[in-house]
Structure 1
Amino acid sequence: MDLKNIDPLSLDDTNDENKDDSKDQEKSVSLWEHEALSQIPIKVFRGHTDAVSNCHFCFDDTRVLTSSHDKTATLWDSDTGASLQVFKGVHKSAITECTLVPKKNRLITASLDKTLVAWDLETGKIIWTAPHGGFVTSCSTTGDGKLVASASDQENAIYLTNTDTGERVLYLKGHHKSTITRCRFDPQGQRVASVSNDTTIKLWDLVSNKTTLAINSNHTNVISSCSFNHNGHLLCSASWDKTLQLWDVHQGTFRSCGGAMLSRGHEGSISSCVFSNDSSLLVSGAFDRTVAVWDMAAFCRTLVLKGHLDWVTDVSISADRKWVASASKDSTVRLWNIENSEQIPEVIERRKAQGMGFHVLKCEECGKPFSLSRVETSDLITKCVFCRLKTPTRYHPQPPPLLSIN
């Protein structure tokens, strides 16, 4: 396969000469900062000593979980930016991704040292270690916390592991033709989506024990990340070709017209994407050092968040949609407050100028009209965003007590 643009640094690094000076200046900046162009207040978390590979909001947005190439994972207080717990001393190489196990106060880390490790959040001790044949590039848990899916570059395989025991449940050899970059369980925990350097998207069904969907995407470069929307009907793929694609994996309408493309969002290769809990927003991060916020009703990019000094490697959005977190190769994590972004004149103008059409539906709960993106249909979303936000989640985790970790 010809991947001419395989180098993700597709934006010229014109500020290398001043990068060290910029980092020195940034160290003196307080926790609260302000980005002039986007008018968005931010917090900067510092503590990792190498590239931050992954970030998640957790514990009802009171905590942020991160992993890093410095071989550690960190639990932060999302309000103060304080480092509460550092999980270290086990991995011998970079941690590529981390995830919490719902309902069990456990953390799982995936690493280039070819292991998947489960930690106890309260004690910081290792529960189990699951060796893999090659580099572990990604991990994702089911909503019930019973299984973790992981991807290995040896034989381009998907592993399913029992989160209680670390016992291998499934080994799916040769699932892709090239390295799997990301794997994700759907919200129901019945399918695992995976994307790869081979520019394909696959869905493995745990019930039928087979691949139920294989998409030869029209991405022209590595697919770096993917994310399901709240009901698992829509899948977003992010690529080094600088585009995001939306795939209706429920009705399969892409078979006749391809995926719906979100373009002109980044000048560099896109590294990550994630939907908000209600699917009204999509957030993406890229190697051009920016974070983009997309309005899924107007089908347009509304915000561009600038400030990182190096590649943005991962993004997350809080459950209340007020905060966006971004991890970067510059060793920092940034939290951007987008709560009042709709009042920014530039955002209003972008919605008017870039909106590509949406239709109005009646909410089945409150009866009020609401707008819906053209990439989704009425059987996917039947309630307005306010009614969806009122619906309580099935699980409200509480952070563990803070104990020192030796």
Structure 2
Amino acid sequence: MSGNENSGDGEFDDVINAEDILHVIELDDNRDISEVMEEADLGEDFDDDMEASGGQIEVQDMAGVVFDKHKDAVFSVHIDPNTSQLAVTGGQDDTAFVWKISTGEVLFECTGHKESVTCTSFSHDGTYVATADLSGLVKVWKIETKEDVFTFECSDAEWMKWHPGSHVLFLGTVDGDIWMWKIPSGECKTLQSHGCTVSCGVILSDGKRMCVGYDDGSLKIWDLKSVSVQHNITGVNAHKSTVLCVDTHPVNNVILSGSTDVTARAYNSSTGKLLGSYDCSSPETEEDSVEAVALSPTHSYAATGTVAGVLSIWDTNTQICRHKCRHEGGIVSVQWDRLTPQVYTSCLDGAIRLWDARNGEMVSKWTGHTDSILGFDVSRDGKYLVTVSEDKTARVFSLSTSDR
């Protein structure tokens, strides 16, 4: 174990007091993907196709680049938000790679992990890349020198995020603690557990607070400077079971969470007040959960995705569901386009889709994977879509202006 714990004020606090951030980079939730796949009902047609093709589905490969250096399922991906030229992927083979999106060329391998690498992320300026595995081993690498500059071991990792405006790294663990490190010095603070797993988290747009969800259905809004809880959302205002995902609006004070209780809930981050609850259940299925939520940065829309394969588009002003968009498999993650009222979905059926929130119509569909997609990211410049899959590959798709 390395890194220095420091619970007091000082230089560490200065990096938290960043100016308002209008765009928070979101990563996929790092729930064990096997749990999601077990709950998803892909349907008889999916199974028949798999059996007829010997386990491989015949699909049109629309990818411009196929990254095939991983030896097992690839769980996580993030694109450098600074240059949009590099991707980092982590997989079940206990490895992570930083590679060039345009060619698939490996820049360097992030070695030393003990178990599946489920969390990978670049810092906001692309100076560092962080990787974390299921055992709780966290490593940070400097891109310019390709050197390991920070290593820490804690309990099993659930999720990891960088601060959107400074070199501060956050890691949520199965024992419920949230670690907060200043990189590369390793100065450390801990947001203490109340006794259950912290399942997801997001830094709020002011850069000074964080909202996290827990296995018992509760949520907390933490002040990062004082390491104190501003709002503790429990009881009737909380979820009835595990909070799987949480998002925040890049400008206003709205937080959106999703849960295994098959609801999404909106809160005011300033007051902790419950603004509304969205029923995301599907009458045709009993086993379901909300796996992904996202708030549109440009319109008054919210998106929720479920294991049953339903993308719901909600009007946040009226709390009315505008559209339900059906998928052939469970939805793993959703992400809004930065400029338009369109939303991407990744699905266990092996495809990425783009939907128009105004009419509920599918705008584009990208195929090429022969197994479930486990995560994706869209480059900040809007040119590339990178996906990772159970089929041991990552794929790069070019995005045209007509798609968006």
TM-score, length-normalised on structure 1? Answer: 0.65
Alignment CA distance shift 1:194-1:344 (3 Å): closer
1:150 Cα deviation after fit: 1.0
1:170 Cα deviation after fit: 0.5
CA deviations 1:243-300 (Å, max 9, x no partner) are 111111224442xxxx511223665212222223336443333323454444435642
The percentage of aligned residue pairs carrying the same residue is: 17
Matches within 5 A, 1:2-401: 10=39, 12=41, 14-15=43-44, 17-18=47-48, 20-21=50-51, 24-26=55-57, 28-31=59-62, 47=68, 50=72, 52-56=74-78, 59=81, 62=84, 66-73=89-96, 87-122=109-144, 124-132=146-154, 134-154=155-175, 156-165=176-185, 167-173=186-192, 175-216=193-234, 217-231=237-251, 233-254=253-274, 259-264=275-280, 268-278=288-298, 280-297=300-317, 299=319, 300-304=321-325, 306-308=327-329, 311-321=330-340, 324-327=343-346, 334-338=351-355, 342=358
What one-letter code is carried by the residue in structure 2 that aligns with 1:94?
A: S
1:136 Cα deviation after fit: 1.1
CA contact (8 A) 1:197 1:221 kept: yes
CA deviations 1:88-125 (Å, max 9, x no partner) are 43322122322221124322222212112212345654
Match of residue 379 from structure 1? none
Alignment CA distance shift 1:29-1:297 (3 Å): farther
CA contact (8 A) 1:139 1:150 kept: yes
What one-letter code is carried by the residue in structure 1 that aligns with 2:241?
A: N
Segments of 5+ residues of structure 2 without an aligned counterpart are: 1-34, 364-379, 385-404
| CA distance, structure 1, for counterparts of residue 335 and residue 342 of structure 2 | 8
CA contact (8 A) 1:141 1:149 kept: yes
| CA distance, structure 2, for counterparts of residue 123 and residue 290 of structure 1 | 44
CA contact (8 A) 1:186 1:232 kept: no
1:128 Cα deviation after fit: 1.7
Alignment CA distance shift 1:344-1:304 (3 Å): closer
CA contact (8 A) 2:204 2:210 kept: yes
CA contact (8 A) 1:100 1:108 kept: yes
2:297 aligned counterpart, secondary structure: coil
CA contact (8 A) 1:265 1:292 kept: no
CA deviations 1:128-179 (Å, max 9, x no partner) are 21211x101111221212211111223x2111111223x1420233x23211
CA contact (8 A) 2:258 2:265 kept: yes
1:24 Cα deviation after fit: 4.7
Alignment CA distance shift 1:196-1:204 (3 Å): same
| CA distance, structure 2, for counterparts of residue 398 and residue 121 of structure 1 | 22
2:184 aligned counterpart, secondary structure: coil
Alignment CA distance shift 1:131-1:19 (3 Å): farther
Alignment CA distance shift 1:84-1:126 (3 Å): same
Alignment CA distance shift 1:276-1:108 (3 Å): farther
CA contact (8 A) 2:353 2:362 kept: no
Alignment CA distance shift 1:122-1:61 (3 Å): closer
Match of residue 359 from structure 1? none
1:26 aligned counterpart, secondary structure: coil
| CA distance, structure 2, for counterparts of residue 23 and residue 189 of structure 1 | 50
What one-letter code is carried by the residue in structure 1 that aligns with 2:194?
A: H
1:18 aligned counterpart, secondary structure: helix
| CA distance, structure 1, for counterparts of residue 219 and residue 144 of structure 2 | 37
1:143 aligned counterpart, secondary structure: coil
Alignment CA distance shift 1:346-1:314 (3 Å): closer
Alignment CA distance shift 1:285-1:68 (3 Å): farther
Instruction: Choose 315-324 or 231-240, whichever is displaced more.
Output: 315-324
Segments of 5+ residues of structure 1 without an aligned counterpart are: 1-6, 33-42, 348-394, 400-406
CA deviations 1:363-401 (Å, max 9, x no partner) are xxxxxxxxxxxxxxxxxxxxxxxxxxxxxxxx99999xx
| CA distance, structure 1, for counterparts of residue 263 and residue 256 of structure 2 | 10
Match of residue 390 from structure 2? none
TM-score, length-normalised on structure 2? Answer: 0.65
